[in-house]
Structure 1
Amino acid sequence: MELKDYLRVLRRNWIIIVACALIGLLGAGAASLLMKPSYKSETKLFVALQSSGSVSELTQGNAFSQARVQSYVKTVTTPTVLQPVIDSLGLKVTPQALARSVAATSDVNTVLISIAVENESPVQAAAIAQAVSRSLIVAVDELERPSSSDSSPVKLSIVTPASAPGAPSSPNVNINLIVGLLLGLATGTGVAVLRSILDNRVRGAADLRRVTQTAILGGVSFDATATKEPLLTQIAMQSPRAESFRQLRTNLQFAHVSHDSKTVLITSSVPGEGKSTTATNLAIALAQAGQYVALVDADLRRPMIDQYLGLDRNAGLTTALIGQTDVDELLQPWGEDKLYVLTAGQIPPNPSELLGSDKMKQLIIRLETVFDAVIIDAPPLLPVTDAAVLAQQVGGVVLVVGTQKVRTTDVEKSLAALDMVEADLLGVVLNRLPAKGPDAYSYSYYSYESNGQIPALTHAKSRRQPLEENGSEANFENILRGEGRSTSRLRDIGGRGRGAQ
């Protein structure tokens, strides 16, 4: 992982990191409150020789004192020093227990000994420190005395008497809070990195780029209201969601410009990625640009377009494929633009066979002779083979990738399935992207020069100028007559009349 990848991980998981930091902070604060306060009292002693002489002798004596200081420091925590303290103060502890609250140190190249005592009582801490220093003086005097009649050559003097501290030495709330915050941040960062390593869901363009370099035709941000208002006509024309589909419309036209076929298949890896809403809104966006558009619901397992558009599904694609009714009688006009919808019809027991049949191929050809664009909503690629079968009969395929929903392994399998049938993958549409954050889709992020993708344009140019307006009740033959096209031509492709189906 590069630095930018780590930064993206931190931005994606900032809530976890902040939460862990707050937990660490609160934990440190709670621990500080629960801990009993401890007070530290300190005293200092000076070590000197009790002999006078020449400068040379004094120098040697000073070196001797410094060498003996470390031995005196070790002596402080011995029973020889601590037992008299216990007896004099009436403490109910053992020398070993008292030694754990007593610490003696000395600075390098000095003859000073510091004795620090910690206790829950500030007065008791000062009393013990003072008693220990006095006991050490007596112990050293006895240990250094050559005989009972002689005096000790070493003398210890208290230079800093012990005093009762006014504030507790521990817990140090500030230090504890800082340590707790740092531990929380470290834990949160570790959890974020581990979560990113274990998480194989596609969350944005960066994750998709680890799987494929296929062009990203557009990105649609997640909108909580889209479940209730999924159509472009239900939202403001200048909303980010509407602009996303106009962007997709423009980029798709450029991606499809070199294809003779006018048909585009919309599919996904797994259910729930938003392929049906993408197909429907793309068809609406193309129709709003002045094009004659046919929207075909070829998801013969879980058809959804009729529900989105409020159309009748009793007769549709399957009705035409089995030859019961001609396609020109099954197309239903929708809205004020030139959008005509062929619903799925009755769900058949053999969807794959119907979609892969020659009749389906002839139906697509017939639609292409009349409409500027044919948008087909196909089933997901992984659960069934319908989309892979149908992908061989269309001019191009658009794969919808639902971020937060699909895994990178699923996308890889879908791409492999399309490659196996030699389908022409026009690009990928990222759906359900977050509106903000590191994975938010930005129109300026993808550029032709840097990513080999299609530059964003603001207007789509229709290949046909709008003709006379037809009423919403106009049938398919009226559409053709309004354009000066022959209905017999539509019927003659693939056979005559309904027998061609």
Structure 2
Amino acid sequence: MSVRELITAIRRHLVLLVGFLLLGAGVAQLVTSLQPTTYESKASVFVSVSQQARGLDQAYQGTLFSQQQVRSYADLVTTPKVTAPVIRDLRLHLRPEKLAKRLKVDVPVDTVLLNITARDTDPAMAARIVNSVTHYLITAVADVEGPQPGRSPTVRVQVVRPGAVPKEPSSPKPVLNVSLGLVLGAIAGVLAGMLKEALDTRIDVASDAAAASGLPIVGEIAYERAARKRSLVYDTDPLGMRAEGFRKLRTNLRFINVDRPPRTIVVSSPLEGDGKSSVALNLAFCLAQDGARVVIVDADLRRPTVASSLGLVEEAGLTSVLSGQASVADVIQRAERGSTIKVLTSGPVPPNPSELLGTKRMQSLIQELRADADYVIIDSPPLIPVTDAAVIAPSSDGVVLVVRSGRTKREELRTAAKSVDAVNGSTLGVIVNMTKPKHDRYRYYGGYRRNENKPRLEDLGTAPSIENTPTAPVG
């Protein structure tokens, strides 16, 4: 995973990352509250040779001897010879080995110092313990290293810094614990996001579809709640983001091949429920908005929806023409909302849709419709469950694949694209449907809608509007 992909994954799973950050901070705060408040008091003793050295060599030898003895006295601090009398002196309800765990001994390198630290929940008791330990350590060293015949020199231990009553607790450390919790939470959040990114193969944004299929993204259609009941954008919000998505789709299709732009377009999807029929209808109406002559063909002979969406008669249509029961002129209908849009509904549902769509009569019908229209938009069934769309693909200028954001999986898109390639069809690109709108775009379109009632330039007599300029049919 590249750095850019990692950043994209983090932004996509920002809620997950924030959740782990809060969880890490919460756990750290909980652990901090459960930890007892303890204090540490530190004392230092100095170890030296008691007899006076007579030369540099003897002084150096005495220093080396003291350094060696200091390491031995560090182990002596936590033995019962020191801890037992401390317990008796301070009347502690502890065993010698328990008190030893509250002591920490440190010997700085190349020194004759011995640092002793005592830990307790009472700051005054921590100071009393460490001072008592140093006292009984000196006594224990005197017993062990006392003057003996034939043994010289004698070691002397003295306190150079007694233990003081601490003012601040040594633990817990809330700031350190919470900081550590935030760091661990951030790491866990990033790892969880990467794991979810690896396991979740659904397409969320256009870059996912492009990476999965290697096909160009020709359109992104934003999600609008009103589209559940009314599929046509002109019945919901003609100035909204969804309508603008279809206008961009119209422009992109025209620029796929400038010399020979696609005129016969099959609209399909990997699986059912991706919104292909809605995309086909809105694309046709968007093309007709420029004055182009458009024919919509409902080639989904299994679950047709075009007739019901436009309120047209569906008893006769495509299957009637393919079976020879009627001609195109007899069954083709004009959409009420578009004067330049004609609709060839599916007609009666046949028992053999794939065989019917693969006939030469279907190929001739497409050419016949193409001759009298600027665009022929064919709504076909999904590619993975059935082969209907793949059968029609070679007779068209290309197929556009509609995927649904947050639902269609990358492997499903790859499988659908391979189905088109297997029949030598051309895939024009991918349309990502029902994407999540960005907030900055919301602000732009909100301002655009607020300004739609303001006087336009042509109303003021300054310049003609491009939108009102007559457009020649594309073809």
**TM-score per shorter chain, which class?**
0.7 to 0.9
- Partner amino acid for 1:347? V
| Structure 1 residue 210: Cα displacement | 3.1
| Structure 1 residue 172: Cα displacement | 0.6
Which 5+ residue runs of structure 2 have no aligned equivalent? 443-465
Which 5+ residue runs of structure 1 have no aligned equivalent? 441-457, 466-501
- Partner amino acid for 2:112? V
Q: Give the TM-score normalised by structure 1.
A: 0.82
State the partner residue of 2:2: 2
Measure the CA separation in 2 of the matches of 1:53 and 1:393: 109
1:416-435 to structure 2, matched below 5 A, reads 416-435=418-437
Contact 1:145 1:151 (C-alpha < 8 Å) held by counterparts: no
Of 340, 344, 347, the residue aligned with 2:346 is 344
State the partner residue of 2:388: 386
Q: Does 1:242 align with 2:243?
A: yes
Measure the CA separation in 2 of the matches of 1:223 and 1:79: 78
| CA distance 1:165–1:356, shift in 2 (3 Å) | same
Contact 1:32 1:172 (C-alpha < 8 Å) held by counterparts: yes
Q: Does 1:172 align with 2:176?
A: no
Q: Does 1:30 align with 2:52?
A: no
| Structure 1 residue 47: Cα displacement | 1.8
Contact 2:294 2:376 (C-alpha < 8 Å) held by counterparts: yes
Contact 1:270 1:383 (C-alpha < 8 Å) held by counterparts: yes
1:36-435 to structure 2, matched below 5 A, reads 36-56=36-56, 57-147=58-148, 153-255=154-256, 262-334=263-335, 335-435=337-437
Indicate the SS of the match to 2:218.
strand
| Structure 1 residue 278: Cα displacement | 1.0
Deviates more, 1:105-114 or 1:411-420: 105-114
Contact 1:221 1:435 (C-alpha < 8 Å) held by counterparts: yes
| Structure 1 residue 104: Cα displacement | 0.8
| CA distance 1:140–1:54, shift in 2 (3 Å) | same
Deviates more, 1:377-386 or 1:423-432: 423-432
% identical aligned pairs: 38
Measure the CA separation in 1 of the matches of 2:54 and 2:383: 101
| Structure 1 residue 148: Cα displacement | 9.6
Q: Name the count of aligned residue pairs.
A: 447
- Partner amino acid for 2:364? Q
Q: Does 1:464 align with 2:473?
A: yes
Q: Give the TM-score normalised by structure 2.
A: 0.87
Measure the CA separation in 2 of the matches of 1:162 and 1:419: 83
- Partner amino acid for 1:209? A
Measure the CA separation in 1 of the matches of 2:69 and 2:113: 11
| Structure 1 residue 151: Cα displacement | 11
Contact 2:206 2:220 (C-alpha < 8 Å) held by counterparts: no
- Partner amino acid for 2:473? R
State the partner residue of 1:498: none
| Structure 1 residue 173: Cα displacement | 0.6
Measure the CA separation in 1 of the matches of 2:176 and 2:470: 66
| Structure 1 residue 11: Cα displacement | 1.6
The superposition leaves residues 245-301 of structure 1 with CA deviations (integer Å, 9 ceiling, x where unpaired) of 111112212335555983211111111222111111100001101011111111122
- Partner amino acid for 2:40? K
| CA distance 1:461–1:274, shift in 2 (3 Å) | farther
Aligned-residue CA RMSD (Å): 2.7
- Partner amino acid for 2:11? R
Measure the CA separation in 1 of the matches of 2:124 and 2:270: 75
Indicate the SS of the match to 1:211.
helix
